[in-house]
A and B are shown apart, each in its own frame.
Chain A
Amino acid sequence: MSAESIDIIFNPWLRTLLGLCLIGAVFGGAMLVVWFERKLSGDIQFRLGPKYVGPFGIFQLVADAIKLMTKEDLIPSKADKLLFVSAPIALMGSVFMMLVAIPFGAVVINGVEYPIVATEMDISLLYIEAVSSISIIGAFMYAYSSNNKYSLLGAFRNFARMIGYEVPLGITMVSIAIMVGSLNIVEIAQAQSPIWFIFLQPLGFLVFFVALMADMGRLPFDQNESEEELVAGWITEYSGMRFGLGFFAEYIHLILGSMLVVLLFLGGWNLPAFLTNITILGIFLPTIYFLLKVALVILTIIMLRWAVPRFRIDQVVDLSWKRLLPLSLLNLGWAIMLGIYLGA
């Protein structure tokens, strides 16, 4: 790589532009996922799902977003106004901070791989793990500020779950890093070029997937929301776009989480060299391949949501501390042995 090309890649203006594009893409993606989830759940439950706005109801969420934005900005009179207003910002902020470090694919030009990521850093995995747990503070701000008992219960559940799940989640991430010998998520993705890590660490994948589901608050782990008991849990008092932001943050979290699964365990964007050496394929194919895998993971998570009942919160905490934590530690030991064997 020549000095000029490196200059271009690290040009801050270009990076900013790329970051903004990715934010746009992830918002569009979240809309698509919401539509997809509604359509798929309709299919699972013998319903039609959205169908009137646009072909197959694909613009339903645009209509919903317009509705949310034009709604009255309602703040309960006894709410803590500062927290109430800043909660969506904290939540969205955490998601965007995650977004800057996650690669969305790669472009291969002349055999050189340029990952599509807003910023490349050497500790991106650690960074992602750190900023993703900020979202819990956002959720707690949502719940605490609205001065509602259901919300508060939801927030307590959120915290109990988070404390339980961040530990096994972190340990499985660390075991990947130990095996590869790097905390850089791009390098981790590239290291899977001959063999996916799901085959090297099947146990780790299992723990990571379950913990991630809990982290994203998807059923069977949506105790913070559980509408039958807590009305809407932490988001009960919110309406309009403030609610919309919380809702979107959840779906963006889902997309980013699925990307993490693909990046860490399902081989990232790596394709055999004979495919990527063809210029046109090299530019588009790795990204498409990567996003297809992400879509597959999202599909699995959505289908799971409509097929199982919900855990009770004490059962979730039990599961995380008594089952997943020992399993993740076991996996850590296995990863260290593999790392030594592979000579990382």
Chain B
Amino acid sequence: MDENVGPSEMIVHLGPQHPMQPGPFRLNLRLRGETVVDAEIELGFIHKGIEKILESKTYLQGIPIVDRICYLTAMTNEEAYVGAVEKLADIEVPERSQYIRVILEELSRLQSHLLGMGEFGEFIGFVSMFMYTIKEREDILTLMDMVTGARVTHTFLKYGGVRGDLPEGFREKSATIFAGLKEQIAEYRRLFNGDEIYKQRCFGVGTLEAKTARDLGVSGPALRATGVAFDIRKDEPYLVYKDLDFKVCTATDGDIAARIEVRLDEMLEAMYIIEQCLDQMPSGPLFYEDSLYGVRTPTMRVPEGDVFHRVEDPRGEMGFYVVSDGSDKPHRVKIRGPVYPTMQALPPLIKGTTVADVAAIAGSMDGCTSEADR
């Protein structure tokens, strides 16, 4: 951005350390009074080199690494990587394992949306919202902890299956927690939509056009809020999503309120999916013992070739492109995360709004720098 400032203009760098941010990135704003005239985003402050690390680890060692791309989406990251390798090595996953994976992914969607919404509440000045959602999120994490033994970084998937079965009492516990969460979601709707200040702050502010969103490659709730019903779970079903009944939640306005609305709907939908899974789940093995990979994963080799596998992350489209040269380590891994495009959509969105809206819009986009930088 041009550093020369005109009369009554000022350049403000929000970041790399700023209360508004989900991680270090820099937002350079040219302000005229309170209005943002020009904006520019700089990413890359916490580049961790995940792709390169994956190339130096065996396939099994890679799973904990992909967990750490972003702790909110650990489960879906695992599914994307493990799914890609399974596709490449042609490993079959038993149906029971697939159901368990779906359950965990939807739980992960729930907790991610809850945290994102809490942060958003904080960004518009409604600090209590964060505490409300974090309390509900803790319950969801407890559920995940019951299954995987970890709250955020699970390392639960295994090539050809999952590490363990659902524990005793999972179904009952999830039923009580979901009942509470459904009430809470109704309460959040009341808190938001019944509030005059929320209406003034969020309706018609930060409107993302469907075309802009598509051009920038935005996916997930931010895209669906513009009216585009793009959901990989429906468009390119993986696991057992094609057997499940769920709808793709969309809104039409594309503004802040629409994005929040889509997230609230998706949370209800995620709970509906989990309930279905618990009902439909067949009994059977967690992985096929006779498959080559069931017992020999530590030294497993993957045939030569390349594959792209994508899943619906809580924030959008998460894809792994894996190239194998036949050895026990991937030759090349490329990650296509949902957040990088979402963050790129930020500067055009905040141009012409005010400083206060910057925080609100950034919060509603639900970014995660850790994931964008990788």
A residues touching B (Cβ–Cβ < 8 Å)? 41, 44-47, 149-150, 152-153, 156-157, 219-220, 222-223, 226-231, 306-315
Contacts and interface: CB of A to CB of B under 8 A. Distances in A.
B198 interface: yes
Contact of A312 (B31, B128, B195, B201): B201
Contacts of B131: 45-47
Contact of A229 (B20, B33, B128): B20
A313 B197 contact: no
A47 B135 CA distance: 10
Given A46-B131, A46-B135, A228 B197 contact: no
Interface of B: 10, 12, 18-20, 31, 33-34, 121-128, 131-132, 135, 195, 197-198, 200-201, 354-359
A152 B12 CA distance: 11
Contacts of A150: 12
A314 B354 contact: yes
Contacts of A226: 125, 356
Nearest to A315: B200
Contacts of B359: 228-229
Contacts of B132: 45-46
Contacts, number: 80
A312 B354 contact: yes
Max chain B C-beta neighbours (<10 A), residue from A152, A222, A226, A310 = A310
B356 A313 contact: yes
Contacts of A312: 200-201, 354, 356-357
A225 to B, nearest CB: 10
26 contacts: A41-B128, A44-B128, A45-B128, A45-B131, A47-B131, A153-B12, A153-B31, A153-B34, A156-B33, A220-B197, A228-B122, A228-B123, A228-B359, A229-B358, A230-B355, A231-B18, A308-B125, A309-B121, A309-B197, A309-B201, A310-B124, A310-B356, A311-B200, A312-B201, A312-B354, A315-B201
A138 B356 CA distance: 24
Nearest to B192: A309
A269 B57 CA distance: 76
A130 B194 CA distance: 38
Nearest to B363: A228
B135 to A, nearest CB: 6
A219 B123 CA distance: 13
A291 to B, nearest CB: 28
A152 B198 CA distance: 26
B357 A228 contact: no
A222 B33 CA distance: 18
Given A223-B356, A313-B34, A313-B354, A228 B201 contact: no
Contacts of B197: 220, 308-311
Given A229-B355, A313-B356, A306 B200 contact: no
A41 B125 CA distance: 14
B355 A153 contact: yes
A227 B33 CA distance: 18
Contact of A307 (B10, B128, B354): B128
B24 to A, nearest CB: 15
Nearest to A157: B34
A231 B19 contact: yes
Nearest to A232: B19
B197 to A, nearest CB: 5
Contact of A309 (B10, B18, B125): B125
A309 B125 CA distance: 5
B125 A219 contact: yes
A314 B34 contact: yes
B323 to A, nearest CB: 42
Max chain B C-beta neighbours (<10 A), residue from A153, A223, A229, A309 = A309
